[in-house]
Structure 1
Amino acid sequence: MPGTDVLIVELYPHLRGMARREHVRSGSPMTLQTTALIHETYLKLQRRSNWQSRAHFLGCAATAMRHVLIDGARARLSAKRQAPEPDGDEGAKGDVALLTLNDVLQELAQLEPDLARLVECRFFAGYDEAETAEILGVSGRTVRRNWTRARAWIHARMMDDGLDAGIVSV
């Protein structure tokens, strides 16, 4: 299997599409631009070279992209704590929701790791059903069924915490 640099070059259009979907979906001007998100993801991936397959690499890219986005949300919230906040700051609300989703996803990973991986692929990386099925090695029907289960579980868990669960309405 080729190394990280070769896979990044080969799959760059695919990764760019993932990052663009994430940027558009987030709707926040404070999120990383598409190219910056890809570059930050690359920095997380470059340390590895033992990719088992294209699907393995893309799955790891989804996880790395999630970590980049979560780190960015944490940094923005930290900076906002040090500056006066305007009322109704939608960016901060989105960052809080994203961090809460991350916490809930970590909880889900303890209970059902396969569902957590599916959420990483569908929500954080923006993969469609077919791409997610390839990465996870399951059928499209299994992806649809598990995506419904995962969203319902996350929605219920976030509602229990009194938070808007609309973030997972991908």
Structure 2
Amino acid sequence: MDASAAELTRLFQEMDSGSQDAREAMLAAVYGQLRLIAAARLSHESPGRTLQATELVHEAWLRLGGPEGGGIGWRNRRHFFAAAATAMRRILIEHARQRATLKRGSGHEALSIESILDLSEAPASERILALDAALKSLEREAPEAHQVVMLRFFTGLSVAECAEALDSSERTVMRHWTFAKAWLANDLENE
């Protein structure tokens, strides 16, 4: 089920009032989309990965307040997907740190913006950690561009879907996306 922005906003308001039915309806409305995003994000991982798409969605849902969380305060679809992107990002970073800990002593890989932001290439542990540091820097300097990266990179949304989620134009999203890629490339090169 793919709920409209207005329907999700209504469900968020009911959830804030404590409605368990609204919480269940909201999960049903977004679960399929979150599952597809997570599956696409993880489909390029190397064989033997320990994190599955369903686990990523469930872990993100738990961090977002879970089945019994209190009033979350999501204002709209944009706010929810930004929170979901942040939760998925943190989960992926934690898993990358765990993998990096297991690989102590391995050589470092050269970083490029293309290898980090290419949505078809699964980032290695080192790339995720470097990207996390660069994203923190970008968030301080250009929060709008940071939001676009979060939605494009960590949830796999298209430019059109980002524009809808951010209540913006596709042109503005592309401008932020182009700026963010340049910013991150510069930040990573100077690391």
| Cα deviation code 1:31-66 (max 9, x no counterpart) | 521111101111111245322122221221111111
**Structure 2 residue identity aligned to 1:109:** E
Q: d(CA) in 2 for partners of 1:137 and 1:31? A: 36
Secondary structure in 1 matching 2:165: helix
TM-score by length of 2: 0.73
Q: Does 1:11 align with 2:30?
A: yes
Q: d(CA) in 2 for partners of 1:31 and 1:141? A: 38
Structure with max Cα Rg: 2
Aligned to 1:167: none
Match of 1:28 among 31, 42, 46: 46
The alpha carbon displacement at 1:69 in A equals 0.7
Q: Does 1:155 align with 2:174?
A: no
Q: 1:5 to 1:72 in 2, by over 3 A?
A: farther
| Cα deviation code 1:120-160 (max 9, x no counterpart) | 11001111112211222211111111111111111121122
What is the aligned length? 154
Aligned to 1:73: 96
- Give runs of aligned pairs for residues 12-161 of structure 1, distance below 5 A: 12-25=31-44, 27-29=45-47, 30=49, 32-46=51-65, 47=69, 48-81=71-104, 94-161=124-191
More helix by share: 1
TM-score by length of 1: 0.81
Structure 2 residue runs of 5 or longer lacking an equivalent are 1-9, 16-22, 110-122
Identity %: 37
Please tell me whether the aligned partners of residues 23 and 31 of structure 1 are also in contact (alpha carbons under 8 angstroms): no
